[in-house]
Structure 1
Amino acid sequence: MKHKLILIAVAAALSGCEDYFGSKTDLDFIEVPNYGIREIAYVPIQPAFTGFVHPTDLCIGFDELLYVVDAGTEEIICLNESGAEQGRFTVPGVKSVRQDRRLDLIAIGTHDSTINGVAYTLPAIYRIKQTSGNDYGLDYARISNKIVHPFYFKSTFSTGDANAEFGQIGVLASANPSLNNRFYVTRRGSIANNANQGPDQAVVLFDAQDQYLSPVSVTTAAGLFTNYFKQPQGMVSFAQPPQFTARAGDDFWFTSLDENQEIRVQQINLVETPFGADYKPGVALPNPDRADRWIGQPGLFERPVGMTMAGDQTRYLFVVDEAKDSLFQFTANGLEGIPPPPASGATRYAKVSFGGTGTGPMQFNGPVAVGYWRSILYVVDAGNGRVSRFKNTLDFE
C-alpha cells in the first residue's frame, strides 16, 4: 500500500511539471505529403537555340546530331545536343533537310536555270556527302548529286513546271540493301497530269541512288486514285533515329495544307494483297474513354506544316500547326495525350498539346518543324527565330 501511494504521488508531480519532459512540440508547420499523380505536361528547357535568321526545318540525324535549316542564310547548321555548332553548309534555296541511314543529308532547295532564254528558279533535291577521307561533318561536306524538277521524270519543260515545289522527305528502312534508304518526297504544283506521271500534287518515291521510281497511288473503297494527295507538305516515315535497325516497310504519315480537306494528317500503309501491294489509307479511330481528340478528327488542324515520330518505344506523333501556333502530341494509334502511369489508377490520357501566339517559352510565332530525340522535343519557331526545347515531366528523374 505504501508503494502504491508513492507511485501516485510521483505521477501527480510529473503531470504538473511540463518542463520535466519538455514542452509539447507544435507540428502544424509540417505540410501533409501529397502522394497524388505528378502533373503530366511539357515544360521548356532554357535557353532556346537562337542566332538564326529564319529557321524553317530541322532533323535529328542517325549520327545523333541536330541539323537546322536557316532559309535566311541558305545554310544547314549542325548542332550537338547542347546547341554547340559543329559546322554549316550552304545549299541554294534550302528549306528542308533529312539524313538517311548512310549519314548522307538530303536537302530540299532550288536550282537557277535558263530555259529558252527565260530564267527560272526550279525546285531541287540535293544529296550531301559529309565524308572526306577519315573526316566527317559539314566542314567536309560536298554536294554529290542534284535532282531538278521536272527533269528526273521527263526531258521537256513547260512554264507550269516552275510552279511546283517540294515539301519534306521521309527516308525508308529495309533489311534488303536494294530497298534501304529509298525516300519519299511530298510535292505540290498546278499541273493535273504531268507527262502521264500523274499530278504535281503527289508523294513521289526515289531509290537510294536518287533515281525516280513513281508517284504513290492510293487505293480506297472507291477505287484507285493517282490524285489522292491534296497539297501534301509534311512527311514522316517509321525509320527514325536512333533506330539503326529501324522498322522496315513503306508506311508513312503525311500532312495536307488543302483548306478543303477536313482530315489533314493521315497515315498511308503499303498493304500486301492477293493481287500485289497497294497503298491504302490508315484509319485513326476515336476512343472517348481515353482521349477527347484524335489525329484523324475532322477540322482539328488548320495548317499542319510539319510532323515527326518518336524513334523510341513510345512512337509518339508530334504535329506543328503554323496557323494555330500550336504543337499537338498523339500516341502511336492517334489518340491525343500521354497514357497515365500504370500505378496512378487513372484511365484517361493526359493532354499535353500546347502553344499560343507569342514570344513566351511555351508560345510560338509560326512553328514549322518538330523533332524528338532522347526525350527532348525540338520545335522550329520560325517567327521568333529560334529552336525551342521541351521535356515532359514524366521524363525527369
Structure 2
Amino acid sequence: MNRLRIIAFAFTIFSIIGLTACDGYFGEKTDLDFIEIPDYQSREVAYVPIQPVLDNFMRPTDVLAGFDNLIYVADNGAEEIVCMDEAGNILSRYSIPGATKVIQDRSLDLLAIGTKDTIISGYEYSLTCIYRLDLKGDLGYGLRYAEITNEIVHPFYFKTGFSTKDQYVIFSDISIIGDNDFYVSRTGTSNNLNQIGGPDDAVLLFGDDDVFQTPITVTASGSSYRDYFSEPSAIVTQCQPPQISANESRDFIVAYGDDETEYKIRYIEYFESDLAIEYNPGDQVAEDTSKADGFITEANKFSAPSDITISGDGTNYVFVLDTDRDSLYQFTYSGLEGVQPPAGAASTKYVKTSFGGEGVELTQFNNPQGVAYFNEIVYVADTDNGRVLRFKLTSDFE
C-alpha cells in the first residue's frame, strides 16, 4: 500500500471515529473532565499525576498512544493487549502470548511483540515473534474485531534453518516509519559478524509488507559497522500521532542496554543520495550549561533505558524511561534536559522536569518499561506496580 493510500485510508477511519476516544469505538467525544487542576505551588514547572490510577493490569510492559487516538497497553502478566479510551476506560482485550510491546502503523494495524511456541526436531521452543493485528473487521473497527494476519518469528524471516542459540534472541522494540516500513531492535547472545542475518544485537528494517529487508549498517568516520548496536533495548522514530502531522523522517533514536556503554542513547540519521543510502551517527549534543543542566548524550546519564518516545504534537520532546533508576526523563529533540521556563521566569535556562524513584507513590515507579505521549499527557507503564500512570505538566493546565 503506498503512502497516499495509507493516509487516505487513515483519514477515512478518522472520519468515522473522529478525533475522539469514545464509550465504545464510536459515539460521543471522551469526557476529559476527570483531569483536575492540581495544587502545584512547590515547583514552577513539574509533572503532576492525573487520577484515577489505571490499575486493571497484572504486569504492563508497554503503553501506546495510537494513530486512532486510543491508548493500548501490552500486559505481559495477562498476555494480552488492552485498549482504552483517553479517560482510561477499558474497551477491549486481545490475547497475545508473551506480550511485551505494541505499536500501531499508519494504516491502523497493530504490531505486537510476543512469543510463539513451536516444536522443532522434537523439542519445544518459545521464540520471539511479532504479531500483526488487523483492526478492521467485517463488523467494525477496533481491537474487539482484530484478526492476526501475519507472524514474524525469529529466525524464520531470514533463514529456513534453526540453531539452538536462536531461542535466546529477543525482539526488544518496534518503531514505525512514515511510509509504514518499520524498525525492530533485536538482542541475543551471538554477535558474530559473519553469521547469517548479522549479529543478534541489531536494528532491523522491515517493509510495510512485513518482509525483512536488512540489518542496519552504520557508517562513521568513513567505515561501516555491522555491529554498531550493543544490546538495543528501545527504538523510536519521529513518526508519532496525530496522523495528520506525522513526521516521515527515517532517522531514529536507539537506547542501549549494555552495562559497559557510557553513552546509552544514540541518534542515527538516514542519508540518501543517487549513489548510496547510509545511516550515520547524529551529531553529539553540545553540552551548553548556559542553556540546560542536563543532556541526553552525557556519559552515564542512564543506567538501563527501557523505552523512548517522542511527542508528535510539534514540541518534539524526547522521553526516556530508566528501569534501574525508576525514573522518567524529558529532553528536547536537540538533547537539552527539561522544558522552557514559564514567561517571566528569572532564568532562561531549561527547567528540569525529570522525576521518579522507586516506590508506590504517584510520582514513583517500580521497574517502568513503557512510555507514551498524547494530548499533553505522558503515560507510563509502571510494570512491577501493575499500573499505568498519567502525568501532565503544570504549565499545560489552562
Q: Is the 8 A contact 1:193 1:200 kept in 2?
A: no
Structure 1 outlier segments of 4+, above 6 Å: none
Q: TM-score, normalised by structure 1?
A: 0.87
Aligned match of 1:327: 328
Name the count of aligned residue pairs: 356
Please list the CA deviations of residues 45-71 of structure 1 after superposition, one character each: whole Å capped at 9, or x if unmatched: 111111111111111100000000111
- Select between 340-349 and 198-207 the one with higher mean Cα deviation: 340-349
1:237 matched to which residue of 2?
Answer: 237
Structure 1 partner of 2:219: 219
1:336 aligned residue: 337
Deviations 1:147-178 (A, max 9, x none): 110010011111111110000100000xxxxx
Match runs of 1:53-202 below 5 Å = 53-173=58-178, 180-191=179-190, 192-193=192-193, 195-202=195-202
Q: Secondary structure at the match of 1:73?
A: coil
RMSD: 1.6
Give the CA deviation at 1:239.
0.4
Q: Which amino acid aligns with 2:234?
A: G
State whether residues 194 and 200 of structure 1, in contact with CA within 8 Å, keep that contact through their aligned partners in structure 2.
Answer: no
Which residue of structure 1 aligns with residue 364 of structure 2? 363
Q: Partners of 1:274 and 1:280 in 2: how far apart?
A: 17
Whole-angstrom distance in 2 between the partners of 1:261 and 1:345: 37
Output the CA distance in 1 between the equivalents of 2:293 and 2:99. 38
Letter aligned with residue 390 of structure 2: R
Counterparts of 2:343 and 2:224 in 1: how far apart (Å)?
Answer: 43
Provide the residue aligned with 2:306 in structure 1. 305
Within the candidate set 49, 65, 89, 2:54 is matched to: 49
The CA distance in 1 between the partners of 2:275 and 2:136, in whole Å, is 43
With 214-223 and 369-378 compared, the bigger mean Cα shift is at 214-223
CA contact (8 A) 1:154 1:195 kept: no
Distance apart, 1:92 and its partner CA: 1.2
Deviation at 1:313, TM superposition (A): 1.4
Partner of 2:278: 278
Amino acid at match of 1:204: L
Matched, 1:376 2:381: no
Quote the Cα distance in structure 2 between the aligned partners of 1:49 and 1:285: 39
> Hey, what's the Cα distance between the residues in 1 that align with 2:42 and 2:76?
43
Residues of 1 paired with 2:272 and 2:343: CA distance? 36
Q: Which runs of 5+ in 1 are unaligned?
A: 1-35, 174-179
Q: CA 1:151–1:194 in 2, change beyond 3 Å: closer, same or farther?
A: farther
Superimposed CA distance per residue, residues 61-111 of structure 1 (whole angstroms, 9 cap, x where no aligned partner) = 000000001111100000000110111100111111000000000000111
Q: Deviations over 1:197-225 (max 9, x none)?
A: 31010000100010000000001116110
Q: Which residue of 1 aligns with 2:36?
A: none
Structure 2 SS opposite 1:160: helix
Whether the aligned pair in 1 keeps the contact of 2:338 and 2:351 (CA below 8 Å) is yes
**1:246 Cα offset (Å):** 1.7
| Match in the other structure for 1:253 | 253
Alpha-carbon distance in structure 1 between the residues aligned to 2:345 and 2:301: 29
Matched residue, 1:269: 269
Unaligned runs of 5+ in 2: 1-40
Supply the AA of the counterpart residue of 1:153: F
Q: Give the greater-gyration-radius structure (CA).
A: 1
Deviation of 1:274 after TM superposition, in Å, equals 6.7
- Give yes or no for contact 1:58–1:369 (8 Å, CA) kept in 2: yes
In the TM superposition, 1:16-27 aligns within 5 A as none
Q: For residue 21 of structure 1, what is the aligned residue in structure 2?
A: none
State percent identity of aligned pairs.
45
CA distance in 1, matches of 2:97, 2:117: 9
Contact 2:270 2:278 in 1 (8 A): yes
Task: State the TM-score, normalizing by the size of structure 2.
Answer: 0.87
The aligned amino acid for 2:292 is A
| 1:329 to 1:130, Cα distance in 2 relative to 1, 3 A | same
One-letter amino acid of the structure 2 residue matched with residue 277 of structure 1: I
Question: Matched residues in 1 for 2:274 and 2:383: separation?
Answer: 47
Matched to 1:240, the amino acid is Q
Which moves more between the two structures, 276-285 or 82-91? Answer: 276-285
SS at match of 2:243: coil
Q: CA shift at 1:320, angstroms? A: 0.6
The answer as to whether partners of 2:193 and 2:226 remain within 8 angstroms in 1 is: no
Deviation at 1:193, TM superposition (A): 3.8
Query: What is the CA-CA distance between 1:284 and the residue it aligns to?
Result: 2.2
1:203 touches 1:229 (CA, 8 Å); kept in 2?
yes
How has the CA–CA distance of structure 1 residues 224 and 194 changed in structure 2, closer, same or farther, with 3 Å as cutoff?
A: closer
Q: Which amino acid aligns with 2:152?
A: I
Note closer, same or farther for the CA distance 1:53–1:38 as it changes in structure 2 (3 Å cut).
Answer: closer
